[in-house]
Structure 1
Amino acid sequence: MDALDQQALTGAVIKEHRLDLAQLWLEFVGLGGDASEQLLRDYCAGEAGLSTKERDALAQAVNEHCAAEGLPLRAPLSSSALFLCQPKRQDPYSSK
């Protein structure tokens, strides 16, 4: 997955579920992340970047929190595929 797509999707999950960034930062550090809490805030706001390792640690922290709370949306890992939903194109001359 592209770094910017992962950033946007992770930030969207955090925002949608109104997750506490201070708590996520503690979980992120526990998973091996070493960015500051302020850098995570900047990352989620789209104002800074993180390394692949740190993006995945944050996504894992988000996903563990979501799983524990029974929340449906999950943050993607860098190895996740991004699928674009496109409507099935119909032949304009078809009667179907």
Structure 2
Amino acid sequence: MDELDQQALTGAVIKRHSLDLAELWLDYVALGGEASEQEIRDYSSGAETLPEKDRDALAQAVNEHCVAANLAVRAPFSDSPLIRLHAEPQDPYSSK
């Protein structure tokens, strides 16, 4: 997955579920993350980038919070594929 796509989708999950960034940061650090709490805040708002290892540690922390709260939407990992909405390319002039 593209770095910016992962960042946007992770930030959207955090915002959608109103996840507490301080709690996420503590769990992220426990998973081996090395960024500061402010860097995580900046990343989730789209103002900062993180290395792949840190993006995936944050995604894991976010997903653990989602599982604990029984929330359906999850943050993607760096190796997650983007799912296409249409299996076949559509003709732009088609009425389908």
Percent identity over the alignment?
Answer: 61
The offset of 1:86, in angstroms, is 3.1
The offset of 1:83, in angstroms, is 1.6
Alignment-derived partner of residue 43 in structure 1: 43
Instruction: Give the whole-Å Cα distance in 2 for the aligned partners of 1:5 and 1:51.
Output: 14
Unaligned regions of 5+ residues in structure 2, if any? none
Unaligned regions of 5+ residues in structure 1, if any? none
* Structure of higher CA gyration radius: 1
Structure 1 counterpart of 2:77, one-letter code: L
TM-score (norm 1): 0.89
Question: Secondary structure in 1 aligned to 2:16?
Answer: helix
Structure 2 counterpart of 1:16, one-letter code: R
Instruction: Give the whole-Å Cα distance in 2 for the aligned partners of 1:50 and 1:87.
Output: 32
State how many pairs are aligned.
92
Instruction: Give the whole-Å Cα distance in 2 for the aligned partners of 1:7 and 1:71.
Output: 19
Alignment-derived partner of residue 28 in structure 1: 28
Alignment-derived partner of residue 6 in structure 1: 6
TM-score (norm 2): 0.89
Structure 2 counterpart of 1:64, one-letter code: E
Alignment-derived partner of residue 66 in structure 2: 66
Alignment-derived partner of residue 17 in structure 2: 17
Instruction: Give the whole-Å Cα distance in 2 for the aligned partners of 1:84 and 1:49.
Output: 25
Alignment-derived partner of residue 79 in structure 1: 79
Q: CA RMSD in A?
A: 1.7
